[in-house]
Structure 1
Amino acid sequence: MPGFKPKPPREGEVTLDFTPGSDGPGVHFIGRVASPWGPGDCPRNIAKARESGKGAQITLDPAFEPALTGLKVGQPIIVIYWMDHARRDLLVQNPRHTDGVRGTFALRSPARPNPMAQSVVLITSINGATIGIDAIDCFDGTPIIDIKPWLPTIDTPPGL
């Protein structure tokens, strides 16, 4: 943003020596997924990926390793990733698992105008800039956009 000046860091805060996204469309991939999946064998969703019993890893750009501070093994996190092999032109889809057509925004399909996906996963290990996770439903090499802690007080809808 023109004229935007970030506030100075508070005591104990650590900053990057560059501004992510300043050189392009605003999205900066922070790492990549290492998964057992590729075209033709990737599970349709995170539940199916968990049923397989196959874990995965997220390897961050080393510059982002300090951002893992405070995360712990066994903790659930929200992983947001870019489905870089997905179609981006479908507005209405006819999935095999439904009884008819549905709008893209009524589905969790990777085919969407901005092919972002998210899964809540469990951390199985943390080693430097690499996070082991219990499962993921995307191809090996999928770019990671962000990681956030899953917090039941915030992420569980009211009444559930």
Structure 2
Amino acid sequence: MKPPREGEVRLGYDPALDPQAGLHFVGVIRSDWAEGTAPKNLRLSREQGGGNARIEMKPEFAPALAGLKAGDWVMLLYWTGEARRDLLVQHPRHAEEPRGTFALRSPARPNPVALGCVRIEGIEGTTLRIDATDAFDGTPVVDIKPWIATVDAPAT
């Protein structure tokens, strides 16, 4: 395990070892990104062309795609399971001071679920082409949820 940076605080145990930590992945993200080449976030991914982003769903989940179409925005939840899970306070390289994990979008968190709002560019069988991802190729997909403006847009 990497040593903490100045100001970081670790949890006293590894949440990955908890027997309640079970999930069933519904697919996998395909992209041009790998460790060391992936952009830090979706904005940067879009600026770099999106990474040839696709979601390959498991065939048994094909019926769950009914109602989705090109142009739809969806919230993609994906599993960054190789990330650290023991940090309560982190010191990002871009920040002057440490911050609590829940105040960051870092993949290092007790439950390494990442969230991205992405646009479906097209659907071919069980593959969804999306506008961008910041995920490494092969990242497991936890869930896909539609972005619904009347529900998800913050009140102004």
Where on the TM-score scale, by shorter chain, does this alignment land: which range?
0.7 to 0.9
State the partner residue of 1:92: 89
The CA distance in 2 between the partners of 1:30 and 1:157, in whole Å, is 28
The CA distance in 2 between the partners of 1:26 and 1:61, in whole Å, is 18
The CA distance in 2 between the partners of 1:26 and 1:40, in whole Å, is 28
Q: Which moved more, 1:127-136 or 1:51-60?
A: 51-60
The CA distance in 1 between the partners of 2:122 and 2:146, in whole Å, is 15
Unmatched 5+ stretches in structure 2: 1-19
State the partner residue of 1:67: 64
- Alignment-mate amino acid for residue 63 of structure 2: P
- Alignment-mate amino acid for residue 49 of structure 2: G
Instruction: Describe how 1:149-160 pairs up with structure 2 within 5 A.
Output: 149-159=146-156
The CA distance in 2 between the partners of 1:132 and 1:146, in whole Å, is 16
Residue 46 (structure 1) aligned with residue 42 (structure 2): yes
The CA distance in 2 between the partners of 1:68 and 1:30, in whole Å, is 11
State the partner residue of 2:105: 108
Q: State the TM-score, normalizing by the size of structure 1.
A: 0.82
RMSD over aligned Cα atoms: 1.1
Q: Which runs of structure 1 show a deviation greater than 4 angstroms over 4 or more consecutive aligned residues? A: none
The CA distance in 1 between the partners of 2:95 and 2:72, in whole Å, is 33
Once the 2 structures are TM-superposed, how far is the Cα of residue 152 of structure 1 from its aligned partner? Answer: 1.0
The CA distance in 2 between the partners of 1:33 and 1:84, in whole Å, is 13
1:42-78, Cα deviation, whole Å (9 max, x unpaired): 1111111111113300001000001000101011000
Once the 2 structures are TM-superposed, how far is the Cα of residue 85 of structure 1 from its aligned partner? Answer: 1.6
Q: Secondary structure at the match of 1:36?
A: coil
Unmatched 5+ stretches in structure 1: 1-23
State the partner residue of 1:141: 138
State the partner residue of 2:30: 34
Equivalent pairs, count: 136
